[in-house]
Structure 1
């Protein structure tokens, strides 16, 4: 992959033609493929990646500072072989980024304006000097293994051809598909029926009883399929606890407010009495 700087480019040096040759990352050592795979996985690296447009194609790009932070995480150190030196300083992480750029995994770019206004991908232009630093932006040239993409495309084409050739299917396959579709629709009907019945029961019991009755109380909770139907029924939590707690706290505050404070005269009497007793003891 290469990019040619020509007179029509708004980057480069003085309108002179300049070509940036990018190495083939597929022939890079496996170590750097693992590093690139770690950085591309947002769950493992925690590195946010955005989409931009480069040479009319949408690509992913990131900021150098985020990549350096990801390379200094303990999770990255665990992915390295035991005999491989782990980066301990930010300069070590920048050196790894430089090696990824030299091997053709990433390309240093400059960000332009959004293509179609706000919240749209920005135009990306390659930098004339391919130097890695924390303040720069880098696009991914290496797309990783395309095996899943190829398998998914083949599966999609196979599914479409299978659906198109449905009239040529044997009778037993057609009958099986019909039974399967009827069973699926039946399950959906039962599910919606349970949801409607439980709502009606809850509304009726809320009017008649102080607490609402739930059929399958965990039906819409974030849990497994089997746990959604356990227990069979349940009662709504009573709301009187909050009211009683509020009432008791209000009553306690009112009692404290109405309790008379000790008068100053009684305190004075107590002090004079104690003084008298002490005087008698001294005599």
Structure 2
């Protein structure tokens, strides 16, 4: 059995997205799905178990325990059908390559603006103000929501968050919905 073959086959296994140690987004695959995919590829139980153990020993995959979309690495190297694993290095799609190239082009354009014609320099000069205004808005909004939170932290049992999703992992419009949220102990009806 070849480790590279097992790895290539397992890269096609069904995955789900989780957050590792509340820091990094990773894809998790279940040993049950890996077993069924490798069996379809012609491997027997012992070869599958040895292949997964080999990948674990070489640090290509890591065993994790997943609860409520949060993953934590488990140090055990036992292989059972109920286990879940993450890849040490994920395969990146063409989207990451395209985004990297776009970033490089943008940085190159910023560096080489001294060689551009004057009309282009003026256009860039006036385009930077809306961008700086937007970044300033986000900075001021973050400071204002922090100050309001601190004031309500001192004065009330519950705390008020303005734009509770402002820095959450969601879309731009969803960052401002809901407008506010009270956080803390439940208020009693009298």
TM-score normalised by the chain length of structure 2:
0.49
TM-score normalised by the chain length of structure 1:
0.34
Structure having the higher Rg: 1
Q: Which structure's relative contact order is higher, taking Cα pairs within 8 Å and 6+ residues apart?
A: 2
